[in-house]
Amino acid sequence: MSSPGSRTTVIALLADRGYRLTAPRRQILDVLLASGTPLSAAGIHRRLENRRINLASVYRTIWVLLGLEALRATDAIGGEKRFELADPLGAHHHHLICQDCGRIEDLEGCPLEERVLRAVNRRVRRSRRFRIVEHELRLIGACADCDGAGRRTRARRRP
Amino acid sequence: MSSPGSRTTVIALLADRGYRLTAPRRQILDVLLASGTPLSAAGIHRRLENRRINLASVYRTIWVLLGLEALRATDAIGGEKRFELADPLGAHHHHLICQDCGRIEDLEGCPLEERVLRAVNRRVRRSRRFRIVEHELRLIGACADCDGAGRRTRARRRP
DNA sequence: CCGTAAGCTGCAAAGCGTTTGCAGTATGAG
DNA sequence: CTCATACTGCAAACGCTTTGCAGCTTACGG
Ligand SMILES: [Mn+2]
Ligand SMILES: [Mn+2]
Ligand SMILES: [Zn+2]
Ligand SMILES: [Zn+2]
């Protein structure tokens, strides 16, 4: 297997583009592979084995991986930026985001069927002149832990 | 007419909650009413008649209007935060976002029909335990001006 | 293996958008 | 009109992200 999100593929991609495989990059990649949810730069940094790796290097690696299209940026709640390894090929998925705790879960696959997408495309194309390339769907609500009692665990951040 | 996004309604709402109707607030509201697209704090500030109004006041007013639910935050491309007056009642709409110039256009109404939303809800509820409260759909692509030649007018910002 | 060029890293400082403390000003109720 | 107090401009503080730099590493050819 060698989807864009696989360890070997990303490593090959780095070499291919003249990037070097350094310890920080390997560790950051491993953190991303191990995480089941998108992580912020600080989140990645916090999970690194070697705590001597600088936060600046995390940012630089994020930037490199985005350039390789091996990483995908997803806006969490409140504009917080998080990152996750890209899906294989032209695949994509969307997220369930908890309003209260900020937790992000994957929604496997895309619920927008061909039919819907085509309809939107037609509608848009007719009125405005706009070519849709991709889309992003965020389902916002309450996760299992936060539902039930309205015990808002994390105060909603300022805008 | 008195939808949440109407001038009189917002003004009434302010008084109702003990807020004062000040010159900065009135002008900021007018800028938002006049704009056909979501604006950033800086964007609002730039358009203000009275240039002596401080950017801090713009932020404070944004915060107040969000509290009144008269304003809605929409994440533009690259995590840039922008704001627009809320839709009437429980209505909502989504956006077409140009990858190249960052321009944001409204897509009237929501293309996710009942059928789709119910299906998603059922699917989510069965596997995970997650209650969907709202959703956000962003259609990303190229606007009329930027399509055709790939003459990328505004460099893609860092993540 | 080892030497070397250049890519990379840690560190510290700079940037930038956003928030906050404060002292003076303007609003709206009485 | 008067007065209590919400609000404003200003400047400093903040938190996240980026950048300059000097030294360290990696990949590669010999
Ligand atoms: Mn995901
Ligand atoms: Mn809109
Ligand atoms: Zn999709
Ligand atoms: Zn919708």
What chain A holds in terms of domains, given with CATH numbers, is 1-91 (1.10.10.10), 92-159 (3.30.1490.190)
Residues of chain B contacting residue A133, judged by C-beta atoms under 8 Å apart = 99, 140-142
| A134 residue type, one letter | E
- For the cut 50, the answer to whether the pLDDT of residue A153 exceeds it is no
Among A130, A137, A146, A147, most B C-beta atoms within 10 A, so best to mutate, is A130
- A98 neighbors A151 (Cβ within 8 angstroms): no
Find the mean pLDDT for residues B61-72: 97
Tell me how many degrees the CA angle A78-A79-A82 measures, rounded to the nearest 5.
115
CB–CB contact B141 A123 (8 Å): no
Residues 6+ apart with CB under 8 A from A30: A7
Distance B93 CA to ligand 4 centre (A): 6
Strand intervals (E) in B92-145: 94-98, 104-107, 130-143
Record the tokens describing residue B140, joined without a space.
């990303």
User: Residue B29 in contact with residue B96, Cβ under 8 Å?
Assistant: no
Residue showing tokens 């059922």: B122
Which of the residues B75, B113, B126, B140 would you substitute to probe the A interface, choosing the one with the greatest number of A C-beta atoms within 10 Å?
Answer: B75
Q: What is the pTM of this model?
A: 0.89
Higher per-residue confidence, A154 vs B30: B30
Q: Sorting pLDDT into bands at 50, 70 and 90, what band is B150?
A: low
Give the number of the ligand closest to the Cα of residue B137: 4
